[in-house]
Amino acid sequence: MAVKFTQALIMLVITVSMFAVSMANKDWSSGFNYTDWWSRFGNHHHNKTQQQQQPKQILVGGSEHWHFGYNYSDWAIKSAPFYLNDTLVFKFDAPNTSTFPHSVYMFKDIYSFMNCDIKRAKMLANPTQGAGEGFMFVSKKWQPYFFGCGERNGFHCNNGTMKFAVMPMLRPFWSWP
């Protein structure tokens, strides 16, 4: 009985110390060191962390690019959060005899977005501007953005799920340059 208890205790100590070693190897464990933690405000440490916080380029739809029938609202929810100054990249091939044209519009408000009311939207990219590197849009303002395809007078937007909204967030304050 006592022997088993000692064995169990030794196992526990070994397990805990292994855990402690693996904790020590992780960068985030330094978060418990308050001296270190405060220095994050000072901008001279944690270069790696700061690099991860730089604005990013986000390919709309991922490998799906920008096409009819992919659920971009779903994609946007799964790809959140988006941050200020992040770049959204819309890629769509220039139309030819076998492919349909697409475009990028920005709706003025949530109502025109919900109804895919192209008349109350501004064209950002015409059907040829998604070729090559794609069309790039930088979300510079802290406001919701409503995107949709403008082709077929809103049909791609309404029936092809080619629409999504993003609300860029402010970056965590300790990562400001």
Shortest distance, position 77 Cβ to ligand NAG, whole Å: 6
Residue 102 interacting entry, from ligand NAG, Cu ion, none, C-beta within 5 to 8 Å by type: Cu ion
| Spatial CA neighbour of 90 closest among 54, 61, 116 | 61
Which tokens sit at 22?
């693996």
Distance, CA of 41 to CA of 176 (rounded, Å)? 9
For 119, the token pair is: 């008349």
How long is the chain?
Answer: 177
Residue 129 binds which of Cu ion, ligand NAG, none (CB < 5-8 A, kind-dependent):
none
- Considering only residues 117, 127, 147, 151, which one is a binding residue for Cu ion as defined by CB under 5 A? 151
Nearer of residues 6 and 136 to ligand NAG, judged by Cβ: 136
Site for Cu ion, residues 43 to 82, rule: CB under 5 A: none
> CA 120 to CA 157: how far, in whole Å?
13
State the minimum distance, in angstroms, from the CB of residue 45 to ligand NAG.
Answer: 7
Is residue 33 at the binding interface for ligand NAG, with CB under 6 A as the rule?
yes
Q: Can you read off the two tokens belonging to residue 144? A: 């919701």
DSSP state, residue 96: B
* Interacting residues with ligand NAG between 51 and 80 (CB under 6 A): 71, 73-74, 77
Is 35 an interacting residue with respect to ligand NAG (CB under 6 A)?
A: yes
139: number of CA atoms within 13 Å, CB side? Answer: 25
Site for ligand NAG contains 159 (CB under 6 A): yes
Stretch that binds ligand NAG, among 9-17, 19-27, 35-43, 117-125 (CB under 6 A): 35-43
Whole-number Å distance between alpha carbons of 169 and 177? 16
Closest distance between ligand NAG and the C-beta of residue 6, in Å?
A: 32
